[in-house]
Amino acid sequence: MELTKKRWIILIASCFINLCIGSMYAWSVFAAPMASYLSQVTGATLTAGALAIVFTVTNSVGPITMISGGRINDTFGPKKVIFVGGLLFGGGMILSGFANGLGMLVLAYGIITGLGIGMVYGCTISNSIKFFPDKRGFVGGITTACYGFSSVIVPPVANILISNFGVTAAFKIIGATFLIIVCVCSFVIDKCPVGFIPEGWTPPVSQGSKSNQNDKNWREMLASPTFYVMILVLLCGAFTGLMCSSMASPLAQGMIGMPVAAATTVVSILALFNTGGRIIAGYLSDKIGRINTLTIAFIIAIVGLTCLYFSGQGDVTKFYVGIVIVGVSFGAFMGVFPGFTADQFGAKNNSVNFGIMFIGFAVSGYFGPTVMRNVYAADHSYQRAFLIAAVMCVIGFALTFIYRYMHKKAISTNKSANM
């Protein structure tokens, strides 16, 4: 009974931790002033677009520590992993404030901060899901929502700090503050006991494939064809959100002609609806199923991309509608996939398994911003990037039906084997 109550405290601490590390999504607010600062220091002309590589690297290295940290988490518990991850995350942010060139910024923010985020993010989410087998979708949604919500509150704070103290000081102040919060909260996080069942909850009777698929290790997961369909679904689903998140502020300024303050608001709006999408989709997936929720997310993403494509003529209303819808759909994928992975391959090894699954996100974190940057360089317009993202969504939509077919086939096979 005691642990059933304490799990809520652990969840709250995990949410505070994710609120800190989610500041990564506010990168576009730092990009322009940091580009200006580094241009003065180095004498080279750097733009916000040139610094997009930093955001790309941050996203790309995360799975490395999600997988290794997940292994340690599954073996020894999340406390130490989150503490070390907090030191890396905050330390990388602080070191970014001392950057005197693009290379050092890539090392500090891209690699060190990115590795810290991977360690922390995987542990907080997987551990929370283990404590809430009765609410996997909702808890996956709420923990990832806090990660996304950071980009609602960090951009205005960062702007104030940048305006008053400069961009390098802003990195140091935010980094030091978040380092303290993450490391202190890590002491509240306990490891979930194997087979934990909350007081008053009766696990549903396993049916078909679920009983045979529970608690697969990473080797068994990789041997399953279903894994490859799932990781491609995540890759296609995250592509649009990461493409737009990395360039939200420059996108609003370059495509619609918004001033800096309004463009910063766009970053927060995208993050706000990204957050809402995680909670709503996580809750909804508990009711109608994970794959049905993801199918709906692809449909609304296509609608949002259509709005963004046609807003290229300077239509502010269509632009805002498109950003809102893209935010919701992006959030849906991030909120549903932790629980989806645990459903499919079991909760026991989910820290490592979800870290491997997250490679799909990392690949999108590279290709999404790269496509946006290259399209603009070639066309001097962002519009074709939205068409490419829409094609990715159509592919992802089709993959959800392939998953259904494979899942049904696996259930039939298991039933035949058990007869």
In SS3 terms, 80-113 reads as HHHHHHHHHHHHHHHHHCCCCCHHHHHHHHHHHH
Q: Render pLDDT for 367-413 as a digit per residue (tens, 0 to 9).
A: 888 898 899 889 888 889 999 999 999 999 999 999 999 988 877 77
Question: Domain containing 347: what range?
Answer: 10-190+220-418
Give the per-residue pLDDT at 212: 42
The model's confidence at residue 418, banded by pLDDT at 50, 70 and 90, is low
Q: Render pLDDT for 265-306 as a digit per residue (tens, 0 to 9).
A: 887 788 889 889 999 998 899 889 999 999 999 999 999 999
Lowest mean pLDDT, pick from 112-126, 143-157, 175-189: 143-157
Give the per-residue pLDDT at 210: 44
Give the per-residue pLDDT at 208: 39
Does any domain span residue 43? Answer: yes
Does any domain span residue 210? Answer: no
Does any domain span residue 200? Answer: no
Does any domain span residue 204? Answer: no
Q: Which residue has the higher pLDDT, 57 or 90?
A: 90
Does any domain span residue 209? Answer: no
Number of domains in the chain: 1
Q: How far is CA 171 from CA 42, 154, 266, in A?
A: 19, 11, 21
Does any domain span residue 4? Answer: no
Mean residue pLDDT across the chain: 88
Q: Render pLDDT for 226-277 as a digit per residue (tens, 0 to 9).
A: 999 999 999 999 999 989 887 787 888 888 888 877 887 887 788 889 889 9
Give the per-residue pLDDT at 1: 53
Give the per-residue pLDDT at 419: 57
Tokens linked to 23: 């500041």
Does any domain span residue 116? Answer: yes
Mean pLDDT score, 48-66? 83
Per-residue burial over 348-379, b if 16 or more Cβ lie within 10 Å, else e, is bbbbbbbbbbbbbbbbbbbbbbebbbebbeee
CA nearest to 189, candidates 124, 116, 141: 124
Task: Kindly report the CATH number assigned to the domain that includes residue 183.
Answer: 1.20.1250.20
The 8-class DSSP code of residue 193 comes to P
Give the per-residue pLDDT at 205: 60
Does any domain span residue 154? Answer: yes
Mean pLDDT score, 307-323? 88
